[in-house]
Structure 1
Amino acid sequence: MYSACHLTSFCYGVVDSKNDQLVFGFRAESFDRIHVTISPSLKASIDLKTIRKATQESKTVDVYIGNSLDLPLIDRKRLFNVIDKYSEELMEKHSNLNWMDVSPVLSHQTWLEETPCIVIYCSCKGIRPLDEEVFPRELDGVKVDVREGFCSLFSVTDPKEYNDPLRTGISIGGKEMEGCGSLGTFVHEAEDKKSVGFLTCQHVFSSPEIGKSVVQPSLDHYKSNTDPEKTICGKIRSMCMKPVEYNGKEIGVDVAYVAIDNRIPKEFEFPDIPESMITEHLQQNPRRMGQPILHLDNNHIGLTIYKLGQATGLTKGTLGAVRALVNFGMDERFKNVYQVSNKDKAAAEPGDSGCSVFIANKNTLSVIGLLLGGTGDCKTFFVIPIGAALQALEPKLEIHEFSSVNHPHGGACTSSSDTDASTSETAHPTQLSKSVSPFSGKK
């Protein structure tokens, strides 16, 4: 059997759960052409679907839930605790499982039942891989709904404009490397605080190597310029794409540290943000970047989370599972990452990979992690905890803070005692539940 698909694709043999018939399933971003040869003696059917296409079931559920129907926080915490208990075991048993979530409605074939339930999102509903069991119908007495849904890493070739100085949330890419993502949080080396750089995801770069140059924006955007060397902003100093042990858990990490040698920011600045976005999400101008929140737990489910990426700008969502398991396909599975969702509209899109994800207190922003990727409907994204990301890199790094003592719209770096990221404290719920603080859209 042979398949020729546009972009990344994969094929697998599965069994139709209802008809007990062999099915060949194809999944891809999009299809150019496919040629399949099957022996006449083999009774089988073909299932072909692009991963970006939302199912009618998903559309029906979204319309039904709308803006008014949601789970109470106590039910969300209870159901996410059940997910936390079984997700790793289920992910090992079911290669078709991509991620798990909660929902206020259970979807039946022709109607929707209003009841708290756990949702299993799989690559193809109704068929199962060979030699695998069917999904459970209940977990600890909680009903389980099965829906189709896909996840993908959110890097893309869609760069934005040149920024001087560099700012968080802008487009970056690799010199002579395809793809781009977002500049995450600024850091400095613990032993040499003048050595400034930033974090992003390693998968943002198609073929990363230590010492390779990083550009802002990506070369695809800047290719018409007569001096492409001008876009170089630093070099990859350290990177990691593997699970690490952190805070007693194995956490999937995908991170790169880029040491920068030009366009170094001296003040706490963000790219221009539309006034409507500031009015909608934020209320005051934060004074500085605060200490990172190295660890969150299930007590923080329901917390408001922000992210600033080059594809979708500033968006917010709600913290769901803090130990989510996610399957991006092609053996790209990540354990114990954060899950953030916005049921009303897109929270992140391709191109936001590597961007900073944070909470906002009265006068500071506190990074909780880096955006890894998200679901096909772009309403849910997954976050690498910042504590695990920092631990995975050498040399030891600290979040680079900015103070506005002498600068009303930003400021110089704070002292080293303010930026120590070596402690492993958990954010206190009462601190994180305060009203979030905004920042201006000025450069």
Structure 2
Amino acid sequence: MLRSTESYISDKDHLNTICDEFGVGSTKVSEVCKEICTNLKSRSEEILKVWPAYRRSNPYRIVFVVITKSAVTSKKDVNIFEDFEVLLRGKTEKNVENKQVINHEVDSLTRIDLSQMEKLRTVIKDHSKTLREQHSNITMISASPFKSRGFMKGKHTLERKDCVVLYVHVKGLIPVQETCFPDVLDGFPVDVREAVIQLYAGGQPSDRHDQLKMGCAIGPQDRKCTGTLGGFVDIAEHGLCAITCAHVVIEEDNLKSKVLKETICFQPSIEYSNSKRCGKVVNHCFSTRSEEKSLDVAVIKLDKERSPVSGQFPDISKKDLIKAGFDENQTLQFTSGKVYDSSDIKENRDSRLIKYGASSRLRIGEFRFLGADIAKGPLMYSGNIELILDNLMQIYDIEGCGPFAEKGDSGSLVFSVSNSDSELTAVGMLLGGDDGFSVATPICDALYGIGCAAPCNLKCFDMETNRKEGMLYVRNVKF
């Protein structure tokens, strides 16, 4: 329903007249656009958000970006009948530019060398806060060895040039009262691409494991949400605990609260008949725009009867083992508790990465960058909390091996596989991703954030005990 108030601007010509008189960046235009956005959003429950923008090529005309729950093709589908220029975009929709760049990086075997990676990491760290404050549409900041050109004009080319990449949901539209992105940051060119970082909570269930294992599906007692149980860690105050992502087990409204609401966790999630309590959340760290700490991690104190007895994972198919480079008869496990810090991750960047998630199970990926910054996650469309995370690992999918992670994999540990003896070393905890790549928190950042002292490590399981239970240690990895 249109508002009956005379102040509501209901046609493009009237809006253009105001823009010409006061300027697109004026307070007057901002106020008018705010009222229009509120009105348009009220038209349909399918609409999640509406924001006004302008094009760099035409800074005097307004385009309203309408974010919807799913893709729609016409304004009429969401009851918008005015002649305003409207761009409709589903909440996870984006163009294929970034996926094409990723494919070319992988196919051409092109990577950023370590010295340049460290420089780019510093640039992102130095500028990310200011960029987020000045540009509300940024979803992620990372780096690439290729500068993408001409995609929006149908003349897509790639130039071999290390660059900072600013990711947005909708490329080519600048929010009203904001300026264009910088072309250069500390000598590095800036590229702009589309990406929507999705947190990987959700997905398929796993069987109940009375003795918990890394990679089990878990969830809270008060909502249907599935994530992955990450690693185990001994904490003096609580004893044996498990870690996962805070967004998996804590309701969105409570994520930023300093007072921890009692949350009981179940494995698997409560919507399944074989669900059983496995512990309760005793600590969490979750970053918001107002905080400097940049983490998404929760600590679950495990019920004694659900305590793990080995470093084994749930069942893995022979097909997945082969795809990940292992022999089909091997049993994968993580017994050492060994972790890599940031410098170790970079030094071992040529080692393949694996993870076992509750949804996609065993998958293999390729390390690409350390120092990525998520400025906003999908929470911007589902609530009032903005996700701010930095110093993240960016992991590329490997062609023919499936996506590295999917919904339901949030919280799973990411491991580096030694090329010499196939030993697993934990390097990160998976958060989410987009087409072609995933992002993970470096494991030491997560452990330090929950109070573990350096040098930190995860739970070490006795190899002799595992052998008595008929488990074999993984050897002779094949690539």
TM-score by length of 1: 0.78
Tell me by how many angstroms 1:250 deviates: 4.3
**Do residues 158 (structure 1) and 209 (structure 2) align?**
no
- What do residues 162-193 of structure 1 show as CA deviations (whole Å, max 9, x unaligned)? 2232211121111232211111111222256x
Partner of 2:361: 313
Tell me by how many angstroms 1:77 deviates: 5.0
Answer whether contact 2:101 2:146 (CA < 8 A) is retained: no
Partner of 1:429: none
**Do residues 234 (structure 1) and 288 (structure 2) align?**
no
Partner of 1:198: 242
Cα distance, 1:313–1:98 mapped onto 2, change above 3 Å:
same
- Greater Cα shift, 28-37 or 272-281: 28-37
CA distance in 2: counterparts of 1:410 and 1:82, whole angstroms:
50
Partner of 1:265: 308
- What do residues 379-404 of structure 1 show as CA deviations (whole Å, max 9, x unaligned)? 22222233343344379896211121
The counterpart of 1:382, out of the listed 397, 419, 439, is 439
The counterpart of 2:108, out of the listed 41, 59, 68, is 68
Give secondary structure in 2 for the equivalent of 1:90: helix
Cα distance, 1:205–1:319 mapped onto 2, change above 3 Å:
same
Q: Which amino acid aligns with 2:93?
A: K
- Greater Cα shift, 290-299 or 12-21: 290-299
The counterpart of 1:142, out of the listed 167, 183, 188, is 188
Give secondary structure in 1 for the equivalent of 2:131: helix
Cα distance, 1:129–1:369 mapped onto 2, change above 3 Å:
same
- Greater Cα shift, 180-189 or 295-304: 295-304
Q: Which amino acid aligns with 2:55?
A: D
Q: 1:21-420 residue pairs with structure 2 within 5 A? A: 21-30=61-70, 34-36=78-80, 44-58=84-98, 60-61=100-101, 64-65=104-105, 67-74=107-114, 76=117, 78-100=119-141, 101-108=143-150, 109=153, 110-116=155-161, 117-190=163-236, 195-205=239-249, 207=251, 210-220=261-271, 222=272, 225=273, 230-242=275-287, 250-261=292-303, 262-283=305-326, 288-296=335-343, 299-300=346-347, 302-304=349-351, 305-315=353-363, 316-322=365-371, 324-328=373-377, 330=380, 331-345=385-399, 346-361=403-418, 362=421, 364-375=423-434, 377=435, 379-393=436-450, 399-408=458-467
Answer whether contact 1:307 1:358 (CA < 8 A) is retained: yes
CA distance in 1: counterparts of 2:178 and 2:167, whole angstroms:
16
Cα distance, 1:338–1:268 mapped onto 2, change above 3 Å:
same
Cα distance, 1:274–1:139 mapped onto 2, change above 3 Å:
same
Give secondary structure in 1 for the equivalent of 2:315: coil
Structure richer in strand, relative to its length: 1
- What do residues 201-254 of structure 1 show as CA deviations (whole Å, max 9, x unaligned)? 11113526643321111123x1xx3xx6x522222222222379xxxx944112
Partner of 1:424: none
Give secondary structure in 2 for the equivalent of 1:91: helix
Cα distance, 1:158–1:306 mapped onto 2, change above 3 Å:
same
Larger RCO, structures 1/2 (Cα 8 Å, 6+ apart): 1
Identity of aligned residues (%): 26
CA distance in 1: counterparts of 2:336 and 2:168, whole angstroms:
38
Cα distance, 1:292–1:65 mapped onto 2, change above 3 Å:
closer
Cα distance, 1:179–1:405 mapped onto 2, change above 3 Å:
same
Unaligned runs of 5+ residues in structure 1 are: 413-436
CA distance in 2: counterparts of 1:69 and 1:394, whole angstroms:
39
Answer whether contact 2:206 2:216 (CA < 8 A) is retained: yes
- What do residues 259-312 of structure 1 show as CA deviations (whole Å, max 9, x unaligned)? 221332212210111223323334576672323334448854835433221122
Tell me by how many angstroms 1:363 deviates: 6.7
Answer whether contact 1:122 1:150 (CA < 8 A) is retained: yes
- Greater Cα shift, 403-412 or 149-158: 403-412
Q: Which amino acid aligns with 1:168?
A: M
Answer whether contact 2:94 2:170 (CA < 8 A) is retained: no
Cα distance, 1:135–1:298 mapped onto 2, change above 3 Å:
farther
Answer whether contact 1:402 1:410 (CA < 8 A) is retained: no
Partner of 2:16: none
CA distance in 2: counterparts of 1:5 and 1:184, whole angstroms:
39
Give secondary structure in 2 for the equivalent of 1:400: coil
Unaligned runs of 5+ residues in structure 2 are: 1-38, 255-259
What is the CA RMSD across the aligned residues, in angstroms? Answer: 3.6
CA distance in 1: counterparts of 2:46 and 2:285, whole angstroms:
25
CA distance in 2: counterparts of 1:216 and 1:392, whole angstroms:
24
Partner of 1:423: none
Cα distance, 1:250–1:352 mapped onto 2, change above 3 Å:
same
CA distance in 2: counterparts of 1:11 and 1:294, whole angstroms:
41
CA distance in 2: counterparts of 1:49 and 1:439, whole angstroms:
48
Q: Which amino acid aligns with 1:113?
A: L
Q: Which amino acid aligns with 2:132?
A: M
Tell me by how many angstroms 1:155 deviates: 0.8
Answer whether contact 2:227 2:411 (CA < 8 A) is retained: yes
- What do residues 92-113 of structure 1 show as CA deviations (whole Å, max 9, x unaligned)? 2211111233143422131303
CA distance in 1: counterparts of 2:417 and 2:469, whole angstroms:
16
Answer whether contact 2:215 2:228 (CA < 8 A) is retained: yes
Partner of 1:420: none
